Amino acid sequence: MKVTVTVNGRQVAAEVADRTLLVHFVRDVAGLTATNVGCDTSSCGACTVLLDGQSVKSCTVLAAQADGCEVTTVEGLASEPGEMHPVQRAFHAEHALQCGFCTPGMVMATVSLLAENPKPTEEQVRSGLEGNLCRCTGYHNIVRAVLAASER
């Protein structure tokens, strides 16, 4: 089937198999590989992207469901090339990433969380990111980064 998705402002149209997952559309068709696949049960959130502004786990969305929609990945977050979005800057400043694998999903989940709740408490950050796993940081600096970004 033909699917057309606007990914980071660029319209991407392709003929794909019906069962194609959005994450594979983003990675293999749109060629944006920052978004990672970390599990097969929608548990880890590494594949989190924004679909029409809402965070979704793109391993659990069919590309067909995103037909006609806008998708934002971490590559498209900054307003200018070479710049960083405030959430990206906060992750850098607070050492909120180590191996980097969960990071694109974690950043996108954070963007979504702060859009819904611009001034969250620590507890709200922790529960808000419960669906995104990180094995390196113990979440400590991620939480600090989210709180720091919320104050910008």
Partner 1 sequence: MSILGTRVVRTEDPRLLTAGGTYVDDLRLPELAGAARVTFVRSPFAHARITGIDASAAREAPGVVAVLTYSDIDDIPPPPPPPEGGPPPGSEAAPMPLGGPWQEPLLAVDKVRFVGEAVAIVLTDDSYQGEDAAELVVVDYEPLPAVVGIGEALAGGTLLFPDAGSNIPVAHPAGDLAFDGCDVVVEREIVNQRVAPVPMEGRAAAACWVDGKLTVWVSTQNAQISRFILAGAFGLDPGTIRVVAPDVGGGFGAKVGLDRDAIIVAWAARHVGRPLRWVETRSENLTGMTHGRAQRHTVKIGGTRDGRVLAYRLDVVQDTGAYPRMGGFLPTLTNLMAPGPYDIAHVVAGYRVVVTNTTPISAYRGAGRPEATAAIERAMDLFAAEIGMDPAEVRRKNLVPSDQFPYQSPCGALYDTGDYIGGLDKVLAGAGYADLRAEQARRRERGDVVQLGIGVSSYVEITAADADNGETARLVVHDDGTATVYTGSSAHGQGHHTSWAMIVEADLGIQMEKVTVKHGDTDEIPLGTGTYASRSLQLGGVAVHRANLEVKEQARKLAADLMEASEADLELDTDSGRWQVRGDPGASRTWADVASHAGAEGLTAFVHYTDGAPTFPFGSHVAVAEVDTETGKVTLVRHVTVDDAGTVLNPVLTEGQRHGGIAQGVAQALLEEMVYDAEGNPLTGTLADYATITAAELPSFELLVSETPATINPLGAKGIGEAGTIGATPAMQSAVIDALSHLGVRHIDMPTTPVRVWTAISEARASQ
Residue 68 or 137 with smaller CB distance to partner 1: 137
Min dist CB 105 to partner 1, Å, is 9
Of 64, 54, 69, nearest to 9 (Cα)? 69
Is 36 one of the binding residues for partner 1 (CB under 8 A)? yes
* Alpha carbons 146 and 12: distance in angstroms, whole number: 31
The gap from C-alpha 133 to its chain's centroid, in whole angstroms, comes to: 13
Q: HSE of 148 in the Cβ direction (CA atoms, 13 Å)?
A: 18
Residue 68 or 130 with smaller CB distance to partner 1: 130
Residues that bind partner 1 (CB under 8 A): 17, 19-20, 27, 31, 33-44, 46, 74-75, 77-78, 84, 88, 91-93, 95, 97-104, 107, 122, 125-127, 129-144
